[in-house]
Every structure is written in C-alpha cells, then in structure tokens.
Amino acid sequence: MDVCQILLGKPWQYDRQVQHDGQNNVYVIEKGGVSYTLNPLKQYVSASHEGPSVVVVKEKEFIKKLEEGEFGYTIVGKPISEAIDNDNKEVPKEVQTLLDKYEGIVVKELPDSLPPICDVSHHIDLILGASLPNKATYKMTPQQNEEIKKRVQEFLDKGLVDELSEKSDGTNRSELENDEEKLVFIEPEAQKNDKKNEPERGAQSVNEESDEEQQQEGTTLEPLEYLDLSENLFNGNFTLPYYGKLKSLTFLDLSFAGYVNDFFVNLESLSNLVSLEFLSLDGVNISVNKRWGEAVGSLSNLQQLHMFSCGLRGTIPNSLLNLTTLLHLNLSSNYLSGQIPAWFVNVTVHLISLDLSKNENLGGDISFIGQKGSYPSLTTIDLSHTAVKGHIPSAIGNISSLESLALKYTNIEGEIPLSIVNLSNLVHLDLFHNKLTGIIPPSLGSLSSLSYLDLGYNLLNGAFPSTVSDLVNLRILYLDSINLTGSISFSLFDNLTRLEFLVLSFNHLSVSIDSTWIAPFEKLSFLGLGSCRLDRVPPFLAKQYDLEQLDLSLNSVKNIPSWIWKLPNLDKLNLSCNQLTGSLPSSLTSTAFLYLDLHNNSLQGALPVPPAGVKVLDLSMNQFNGSIPTDIGEHLQHALFFSLSRNNLSAAIPDSVCTSSLQVLGLSNNMLSGMIPPHLTRNCSFLRVLDLAENHLEGKIPAEWGNLKEINTLKLAGNQLRGVIPSSMLKCQSLQVLDLGNNNLEGTIPHWIGNLSQLHVLILRSNKFQGSIPPQVIDLPNLQILDLSSNHLSGPIPNNLTNLLAIVNASQSNPNHMEQHTSEKTVFTINTVYTNNIAISWKGGHAEFLKVLFILKCIDLSNNNLSGSIPLKMGSLQGLITLNLSKNHLSGRIPKTLGGMDQLESLDLSLNRLHGEIPLELQLLSYLQFLNLSYNMLDGKVPRGGQFLTFGESSYIGNPKLSGIPFSNTTVCNNSSGYDNCTSIDTGGEADNSDADMIGWAVGLGLGSSLGFSIVIGILTFKKRMRKRAFNLYDSIILAVDRCMRGNR
C-alpha cells in the first residue's frame, strides 16, 4: 500500500501539483495554498540483542560445542506417527511450562482454507529504502470504492453479472477487466444459442474482431451505467467498440487513461450517450479532434464536464451553451484563446464550479461574473493564469454562495469592490499578481469564513488594514509587494490563532515585535518579513517548532541567534541582504536546511560544513576566507544551487565541488588560483550555470566541458586563461550566456559559434583574437549582447546584421531564461534562477548589469582594427540600446539609416576616420542619452534639434572642421539625484572602471536572492511618453541598488 495514496487520495499525482524527488523519496504537495513536504522516515539501527542468542546448528557442530563445555538447548521435531505412538509419555516440565505460557498462539488444527482477504491485506513498515512488494488494493478514494460496490451489487441483483467463479451450467461469459475490478457479463440466451453453431476460432485482439462480434459486445454492455477506466496505460491499443450504444451510461471517466484517442474517432457516437451526466477526459490529449465541442455540446443531461489538460485549442465552442443542466465545468490547463463569449453569462447561472485557469491566451472582460443577479449554487470561480481584464464587477456581491475566487496572474485592474463584503461564505480569495489599485477595503474583516487571502504583487497602497485581526479563521495571508505603508505591531495578530502562512515582505512597513510578545499561532509554518525594517530576528520564533520557512531578507539584522539552528522543522531560511557579522557554526550538518540563503552580508571566517541534505546554499557576497574544503562535495550530494561568489576565498578549486545533482555553481570574484580541474564537471550532467569569473585561474578551457549538454551560462571572464576555445563546446547547444572576456585567449573566433542558436550573450572582449568577425556569429537569431571589443580583429563589419532578429525587432518581449519567474506562490523555490552580472561598455564608461533583461541589446566592437564603412543595414537594428564602434579604422560617412534605431540610448563612433556631415536623421533618436563623435574628420554644422541640445563639447572634440560645437566642460555629469555620477571621457584608452561606473541595472532588479526573490523597482517596458521620466528615476534607484550590492558596508 503506497502511503501517498492513503494520505492524498486517488488523484494526488495530477490535480494537486505534486512534485516527487525520487532520489530523496520526498513529496511536495500544494493544497489550499499551503505547501506540504512529506519526508521519509529517518533510518535507524535496531538495538542490539544483549541476551543469549538462539543458533541453529548441525548435529556434529552441536556435539562439538557440548564437548567444548558450552551449555545450550535443542528442540527436536518428531514425525506425527512417532508423536502419537508416544502420546502416553510425559512432557518435560520445562517444555510444558512453555506450552502453557503460549497456549493462545498454538492451534490444534490447521484451517481448511486461506485466511479471508482484507481491504489492506498486508502491512509495510515505512522505512527509508524499503521497497513496496505490492500495489494498492484500490486506486480510488473510499467514496469511489463505495460507489463501485453499490453499482456491482445492482448488476448482481439484476442478473447482469455474476461472480468470477466457475459456473456449473456452462453459461458463456464476456469479461471486462481492469486493474481495479473484474466484472463478468452474462450474455443473453439468444446470443449464446447463436454462437453454438460458430466454428472455433483462435484468440483475437480487440482490434481484430469482426464488426458483427463488436456489435454483439456493444449489445452486451448496453445496460452499463457506470464506467471508470481512468489511470490506465492502454498505449494506443484500446478501443471501446460501439460505445455509442451505451445509452444507459451516466458516468464515464477516462481521465489519465493513456492513449484513448481511438475512442473518439467517431465523435458523432458520443451524442448517443443521452443519459450521460458525468464525463471526465482529464489528461487525455484530444487536440486532433477539432469538433469536440459539438460532440460534448450534444450531451443535454451532462452535469459535470472535466477536460483538464486535453490540448484544447481555439475558442470556447458555442455548442456548450446547450448544456443547460451543467453544474461543474473544468477546461483548465489548455490552449484556449480568444474572448470568453458573451453567452457565457447564461452558463454560469446554474454552475456550482467554473475553472478556466491556465489558458494564457484566453481573454475577455470579467464583467460577466454576477450579471444575472441571483446565483444560488455557484461556489468556485477560477480564472487564474488567463488574459482576462477589466474591473472586478460590483455585481460579484450577488454570488452569495461563492466560496472560492481565484484571479491570480490575470490583467484585472481597478479597486477591489466594496460589494465583496456580501460574500459571507467566501473561504478562498486569490488576487495575486494583478494591477489592482486603491486601498484594501477595511470591510474585508467582516468575511469571517475567510481562510486564504492573497493580494500580493498589486498596485495597492495605504496602511495595513487593522480589520485583518477579525479574520479569526485565516490560515494563509499574503500581502507582499503592494506598497503598504506605516507601522504595525504584531499584537495585531493576537486573535489569528490558526495562521500558518504570514507574508508581509517588500512593502514600506515598519514592523515592531516586542521581545515579550507571546505568539498565539498554533502552527506557524511560513513567515515572510522581508524589507520590514527589522533589526533582529524576532524572539518569539524560538518556540515556533512548526516553522518551516523564514524570510527576513533586506532588513538590518546584525546577529543570528543560536536557537535558529535548532528549530526542528526549519528547512528554508533567507537572511540575505542584512548586516550579519561574525562567523557561522563550523558545521551545519545537524540542521534540517534544504534552502539556506545568507548572501550579501559581512560574515567572516572559514566556510562551514554544509547541511547534510541542502539543495540550495547561497553564501555569496560575504567575507569568508581560506580555501574550499577538498571534501565539500561529500556534503553537497543533493545540492542544486551552490554559490560562494564575491568572497575572499583562495587556493585551488577542489574536484569534488561539482556533484551529480548540481545545476548552478558560482565561485566568481574570489582569489582562486591554479589550473581549472580537468575533471571538475565529470559528473555534472545537469549543470546549467558555471561561473568562475574574476579569479586567478590559469591554463586552458577543458575540452571535456563539451559534455555539458544542459549548460546555459558559462562565465570565465577575468582570469588568465590561454589557448583557443575548444571545438567540443559546439555540443553545448543549450548555451545562452558565454562570457570569456578579459583573458589571454587567442586564435580566431570560431565560426561554429554561429550554430549555438540559443545564445543570448556573447562576450569575448579583451583577449587576443585576430582575423575577421565570422558572419556566422551575426546569424544568431537570439543574440542580444555582442561584445568583441579590445581584440585584434580586422576586416569589415559583416553586412548580414538583419539576421540579429532579437535586436532587429524592437518590440520583441520574450525574456530569456534569466528573467523567468516561478509561478509558485512562495519566495523559496528550488527552481533556481541565477542572476547574471554582465559588465559592458555603457555611456562612455563600463557598467555592471545585474540582470540581462530582454530590453538590454548592445553591440560593442570597439578597440579593434576594423576597417571599411559602417553598414547601411546597421540602421535596421531598431531594438539596439547601445552601439560602440570606437577606436577602429572605420571610414566613410555616418549612415543616415542610424536615425531609424529609435531605441538607441548610447552611440560611440569616436576615434575613427569618419568624414562628412552629421546626419540630421540622428535628431530622431529621442532616447539618446550619450553621444561621442570625437576624433574623426567630420565637417559641417552640429545639429541643434532633438537630443543634440543636451550634448556638450566632449561629444565632438577632435573634429576641427566641425562648426557649431557647444562649449562645455569635457566631463558629462548628472547630479539630478543629489550625488555625483560623472563619467570622464578618456580619449586615450578605456574609461576608468570606478565604483561610480559600476552602477548596476535598475530595471527589474532582483534584490533578494538570485533564486527568484524579485522586487520590481522599475518599469520593464513603457510607452514613449513615459520613457524620459523613467530615465530620471534611474539615478535614485541606482543608489538603493548600489547599497544592496555592497552590503551596506
């Protein structure tokens, strides 16, 4: 018996978002918004038996032991006949005493048959490593089991079926077998007589039967009312002939039954099931059947329709309007598109539950909800992960029976209607990640039945609603990232004894928790207080023994209390971006942490021994010193994410650090030295991110790294690597970020890089590459950042620039892997996303971008020996943000087509041999923030329109024939935010890489962990009229970014 089937019921694998870690035998399940983790029992060693042992030995060995003087007992079994013959002999007293003591377990006669079969006929001790010798008796819930028994008994009473036993009258039978039950259908007498004269046949498969035989089988099953074939593996070989004849069928469940597409070849037959009330096709791919809507719409008596994850496409068919008796409709997790039809309001009147969630292209206005006035039965509405928009209608208050409303990840906006207070039965309210504005209605406190409330990631504002304290049944409360202001005391939660999840992170709140406050929580498992201005870990947590997840990131906590390592169930801890000092315990092996994030603090000393089962460990951006222990890999056997970047670690990289389960390894910005271990990645078949940048590593790039089939980010910049790029890396077809800058690599740039079609970022600057730029590199359709600066490249700029589709298309909005956000409602995720900090040339200096956003598109070919003219097709790169062609031997005129690069913010053509006038078309570059045309041979007048009004003398110096140059200092400054951010134009070499230049990218910055703790502090995409206003915000935002990145030191 599988314990998960006992605890979770039949459909747990499919409708409860269960994640199973087979290697560690761990189940994670989300139910009611709460995430539960089922861990295996710990292994134990049974106590050794200290008393005398019983040993069975042979006769010779026994005699030998006696001769050696040892004393023992022996039991001799006699044949039954001998025992009878000697029945009059007395039983030894010692033996008789033993028999009397255990009289209850000794039977005089053996039973004539096997013991009766029980519902659970065996028992398994759930010990880690033990195998299950048998399947579950039933793959169903107790309610379904009772229903099956009831139906079978009805068939028995009517004489339609018989028990599976040999009949004495020779009655012929047809069997319908399933993994769960075996029912035997008695054929009618007429059919039995018809078959007497038939010749004998060999065994035939179902698909080989003749039409006449299939028709007879359909007649046999005609009285059938209940048919459940769910959760089978028919593998495409199963058909149910003449299913259209099952006119008595009221219940049909084919959910997750493997390939049953053949069942729907004749869709018209489905309309013959006139009695059908329940139909479930969950998990059955019927996408090839375009007319499914007509077939389903003809079932006029249908009350429940479940088509979860069926591959449905197109719009919602109008034929569903015919289902006037429908009570439950589930079309979730499909590919439906278009608008929710207007007639849908008529369907919802009689519904009990409606689930259209996870159809990301399904749009329309949600005003249909509540339009019909009274809704006597509707309890559940789920439109999450769709494209619906508009305001939540005030008419929603008419649905007084509503218990669950889920609209997360949609486009709804406006204020939360006050009429929501009329939903007195509401238990679950999920409005996460929308565009809701205004304040949280205080009247929400009157929803006394509310158990789950999630308003996180909206545009709400105002003070924390004190009426939350009236929600005495509340278990889950998410109010994170909604701009709440003011101060709150935790005494506000004195009445919320049932609270299990409390997340208030990333607002503008000042949370105060008195050191003597006694927590009322019966079972608090998740507390999120990120960015709540705390200066210590709340003392009340020392007695929260059920606590599993704790997020106190972005606060001012200075010390980690010793008791935090002793909380028995705490497995996820985030104390990143605080002011922690001191050292950690030398060993964390006794802790239960699966996730530990302490990055961006001031922790010192040697590295601790990691927790035994840790999956995510981030100790980056601290001051740990010493070497990485050579045996560290023994403690990372289950780790997925491990980062020690930006510390003071030295010595060599141990071979063991990269384990078989590891997906992300970050060791950048340390003082690691020596050769890169050639076998570092031997067992890392799942490695996705390898960051060894900014160390003192030497040698060549190992050719074995070509076996990293899953690698998508490889950063080796800022080392002393030499040699060529190994051709074996052509096999790394998942590569998206390749940063090999600032090394001593040589040779030509390999043309095969053009075959890495997933590449987004290619940085090869400051090496010794020579030759021309391979045209194949310009064929990369997803390339966003190309930096080949400071090499010895020669020849012309390739003319196939229009192949850079990701840069050509200014409106492209497909973020790469680094900008993907998890849909899980938790700040902790094992689906790690590594934050890439990319340093590129930016507005005359160098900037370190903390994330590679999809709007960041740059080309830097500066400081080479490129010749020829600037290609006219350069102007087709309409999405380009920065272009740097300085310090080359380019000649000719500045193309007028550059005026079409309407997203351009930075243009540097300095130190070339360009001549002619500055094209007036450049005045169209309304976003241009930096321009450098110095030290060329330009003539004519400087344009005085558009952004040219903002540029000073430094943009044009060194062009003696150029007139109309505005006089200014040779330093460009922007002090709008009240701090110095000046970049000096260096005409003789690269700009100084000062702290002021390491500004960081402020849009969409991940301020929490690099594992997905994201705070949106900027605007990803914005309209043109908002763009300039956004630029003015950069400087003030950069201060906050810089403060976090430097750990407030």
Strand 768-771 relative to strand 845-849, pairing: unpaired
Over the stretch 605-643, which tens digit does the pLDDT of each residue have? Answer: 999 999 989 999 999 999 999 999 999 999 999 999 999
Residue 850 CA: distances (Å) to CA of 834, 992, 1031: 10, 19, 17
Examine the pLDDT at 361 and tell me if it is beyond 80.
yes
Which of 124-128, 330-334, 787-791, 826-830 is predicted least confidently?
826-830
- In terms of residues, how long is the chain? 1049
How many CB atoms neighbour CB 19 within 10 A?
14
792 or 1048, greater pLDDT? 792
Examine the pLDDT at 795 and tell me if it is beyond 90.
yes
pLDDT at 1043: 41
660 or 137, greater pLDDT? 660
pLDDT at 993: 36
Over the stretch 9-19, which tens digit does the pLDDT of each residue have? Answer: 545 555 556 77
Cβ atoms of residues 94 and 73 within 8 Å: no
pLDDT at 268: 62
Q: Give phi and psi for 333, each to the nearest 5.
A: 55, 50
pLDDT at 697: 96
Closest CA to 951 of 935, 933, 962, 966: 966
Q: Residue 824's pLDDT band (boundaries 50, 70, 90)?
A: very low
Over the stretch 383-423, which tens digit does the pLDDT of each residue have? Answer: 999 999 999 999 899 888 999 999 999 999 999 999 999 99
Cβ atoms of residues 36 and 28 within 8 Å: yes
Round to whole Å and give the CA distance between 554 and 504. Answer: 13
Round to whole Å and give the CA distance between 116 and 113. Answer: 9
Closest CA to 740 of 730, 751, 749: 749
pLDDT at 850: 53
Q: Residue 1003's pLDDT band (boundaries 50, 70, 90)?
A: very low
Tokens of 281: 């096709």
Over the stretch 728-767, which tens digit does the pLDDT of each residue have? Answer: 999 999 999 999 999 999 999 999 999 999 999 999 999 9
Class of residue 460 by CB neighbours under 10 A (exposed 0-12, middle 13-18, buried 19+): buried
The conformation of residue 134, written as its DSSP 8-state character, comes to S
pLDDT at 1047: 40
Cite the beta strand spans of 233-277 per DSSP E: 251-253
Q: Give phi and psi for 762, each to the nearest 5.
A: -130, 110
- pTM (2 d.p.): 0.70
Over the stretch 237-273, which tens digit does the pLDDT of each residue have? Answer: 455 555 667 788 899 888 887 654 444 445 566 777 8
Q: Average of pLDDT values for 889-905?
A: 94
Q: Average of pLDDT values for 34-47?
A: 64
pLDDT at 264: 46
Q: Average of pLDDT values for 494-518?
A: 95
Q: Residue 376's pLDDT band (boundaries 50, 70, 90)?
A: confident
Strand 845-849 relative to strand 792-795, pairing: unpaired
Over the stretch 204-223, which tens digit does the pLDDT of each residue have? Answer: 333 344 445 445 444 566 78
Q: Residue 521's pLDDT band (boundaries 50, 70, 90)?
A: very high
SS3 243: helix
Cβ atoms of residues 592 and 570 within 8 Å: yes
pLDDT at 826: 42
Q: Average of pLDDT values for 1031-1041?
A: 40
Tokens of 515: 């050191």
Q: Residue 155's pLDDT band (boundaries 50, 70, 90)?
A: confident
pLDDT at 177: 36
Examine the pLDDT at 118 and tell me if it is beyond 70.
no
Examine the pLDDT at 1020 and tell me if it is beyond 80.
no
Tokens of 230: 């769910």
Expressed in percent and rounded to 5, the helix, strand and coil fractions of the chain are 20, 20, 55
Over the stretch 680-720, which tens digit does the pLDDT of each residue have? Answer: 888 788 899 999 999 999 999 999 888 898 999 999 999 99
Over the stretch 441-456, which tens digit does the pLDDT of each residue have? Answer: 999 999 999 999 999 9
Over the stretch 17-28, which tens digit does the pLDDT of each residue have? Answer: 677 777 777 777
Over the stretch 52-95, which tens digit does the pLDDT of each residue have? Answer: 445 566 667 767 766 666 556 556 555 544 444 455 557 777 77
SS3 531: coil
Tokens of 302: 């249908």
pLDDT at 1023: 36
Q: Give phi and psi for 690, each to the nearest 5.
A: -130, 115
Closest CA to 274 of 307, 305, 250: 250
Examine the pLDDT at 1014 and tell me if it is beyond 60.
no
Map 645-690 to HEC letters: CCCEEEECCCHHHCCCCCCEEECCCCEEEEECCCCCCCCCCCCCEE
993 or 437, greater pLDDT? 437
pLDDT at 413: 95
Examine the pLDDT at 3 and tell me if it is beyond 60.
no
Examine the pLDDT at 196 and tell me if it is beyond 50.
no
Q: Residue 366's pLDDT band (boundaries 50, 70, 90)?
A: confident
pLDDT at 409: 96
Which of 1-5, 891-895, 911-915, 1015-1019 is predicted least confidently?
1015-1019
pLDDT, averaged across the chain: 78
pLDDT at 254: 83
Examine the pLDDT at 473 and tell me if it is beyond 50.
yes
